[in-house]
Structure formats: structure tokens, C-alpha cells
Amino acid sequence: MSADGGYAVILFDSVTQCMWAEKLITKTSIPYKLIPVPKNISADCGICLRVALADAAAAEATLRGVVEYRGVATIPGRE
Amino acid sequence: MSHTIDCRGMACPEPVIQTRKALETHSEITVIVDNETAVENITRFAENLGGSVAVVRGADGIRIVVNKGGEPAPLDAGRPAAAAPAGGPLVYVLAAETMGRGDAELGSVLIRAFMHTLTEASRRPDVLVMLNAGVKLAAQGSPVADDLKALEAKGTRILACGTCLNFYGITGKLAAGSVSNMYDIVETMNGAASVITL
């Protein structure tokens, strides 16, 4: 999954929430990568889940109501 | 007539050590081994000397005829064969499948975050040495396999201990890196500008 075209990151308040969320996302077919939170974003937990922009909505739907997440941030692509 | 040494039954890196010793006093030797890792290690050792090998596989063992090219390097020559920057290479040793002690799941999260960050860092290690469970990171299916491949593509050499691969039953299942041995690993660490153990 190349990140040059921009991507979305799902942010969390704690590592435990992130790990729990990862278990849920793994069960779907959504490609993701666990990465440190990009430097220009601040979050309580330093780890987030990166997904393609097109998959952000599906990823959120998977987590909504099951595991808490802080929000979804969009990282624009490099020119 | 070739001087023959029988290294069947010897654990890595003994066959390479015996080969090196024998080449100090003979210009051509035959080494008998019983595993492919030893064949790879002895072949690479001979080629690093500027020598050559001929391998014959038989029912009772594998015979490697080694012809040395130049002088064998003494054990502590230091620099690995690949060109290193002045002062020696930057070497990271990964001796576990996770990062840090405490919670294993957190350790897995950390090593994955670390590897991802490493691929984007402006300064990357020249060599990664994988030992013990660390070799699993380089195996097919590992969560950091793609990152390790990316590091290799950018010039990082990855050495995975052959004994460890064998122990975990993943010989031949490397996604990145090459099978190495304690002899190469010791030389790499001794010749390094700095060694960071994760």
C-alpha cells in the first residue's frame, strides 16, 4: 500500500484501544498498517492505524460502537 | 590430492572455521558437509577470499572443493566484504521478535512501528543482524517483512542467523535478508562503527 497518494489514519486515546481496533480491522479485508502517529498530528496514543482514503469510511463503520477511537485524520498526498 | 576435512555433524559456524583453518596451509581442500546452510556459508566465505567452490552432492554428504584465491583474512580482519563508510557500518542487532520487555503484544506493536519509521528515516542501519526469535521478523508472513524488503532495497544488508532459522523451522522461508552464521555476525559486529541491540 503506497502512501504517496494520501491516506487516512484512525487515532486512539490509548494503545490498548488501538490494539483492540486492529483485531477488528484484521477480520475485514481492509488493508491497513500500524504506524506511529504522523508528526503533524497530536494524539494521546502514539500509534495509529493507517488505511487508504477510500477505506476510511468502512474502517470507521467496523469500529463504531465496538471500540472507542479518537477520530480519523486525513494526510494529503505528496505532490 | 585435495586435503579433506569432514564437517558432517558440526554445528554452524564450525564448518566455516575449519575451512578457514585448513586454507591457511592448503590452497585446495575438500569439505564434506551435511546441510545446505553450511554449503552457502562456505561458498560465501570462499568467494569473499577471491576463491571458488565446486559442489558435489552425494548420498552420504555434500563435498565442496574449495580453491582459495588469495590470502585468507585473519579472524579479526574487521571490515565485512561490502564497502563500508569510513569508521565502519552502523549495525542493529535484533535478538527478539518484539521490542522491549514487558507485554509481548505491546512489544509487537513497538517493533512494527519501529520498522515502519526506519524505512522513512534519513539515516538507516547498514546492517541488521537477526538472532534467536529475531529471525522470525525476516520470515515470510512476518508483519515487518515488507518494511525489511524496503530497507534492503535502500541498501541495508540483513543477516539472519542460520542456526536460529533452523531451530524455528523456517530455513528457506526468508522474505528478506540472507542466511548467515556466527562467524559473519562476529566479524560484522567487530568491524562496526557502532552496534545497537534492540
Instruction: Check B105 against A19: CB less than 8 A apart.
Output: yes
Question: In sequence order, which residues have a C-beta less than 8 Å from that of residue A47 and are 6 or more positions away?
Answer: A12, A15, A18, A34, A35, A36, A37, B109, B113
Report pLDDT for B98: 96
Burial grade of A70 (CB within 10 A; 0-12, 13-18, 19 or more): middle
SS3 readout for A44-55: CCCEEEEECHHH
**Cβ-Cβ contacts under 8 Å, A46 against chain B:** 113
Residue B121, chain A, CB below 8 Å: the answer is no
pLDDT block averages, 10 residues each, chain B of length 198: 85 84 89 90 83 90 86 50 66 96 95 95 95 97 96 95 92 94 92 93
Chain B residue whose CA is closest to A17: B106
Q: Distance, in angstroms, between B73 CA and closest chain A CA?
A: 43
**Cβ-Cβ contacts under 8 Å, A36 against chain B:** 113, 116-117
Instruction: Check B109 against A47: CB less than 8 A apart.
Output: yes
Per-residue confidence band for A41, with pLDDT thresholds at 50, 70 and 90: confident
Tell me the percentage of chain A whose pLDDT exceeds 90.
Answer: 71
Q: Distance, in angstroms, between A49 CA and closest chain B CA?
A: 10
Q: Distance, in angstroms, between B115 CA and closest chain A CA?
A: 9
**Helices B182-190 and B36-48, axial angle in degrees (round to 10):** 40
Per-residue confidence band for A8, with pLDDT thresholds at 50, 70 and 90: very high
Reference B4, options B21, B39, B24, B28; nearest CA is B28
Report pLDDT for A23: 96
Whether the Cβ atoms of residue B151 and residue B118 lie closer than 8 Å to each other: yes
Report pLDDT for A3: 59
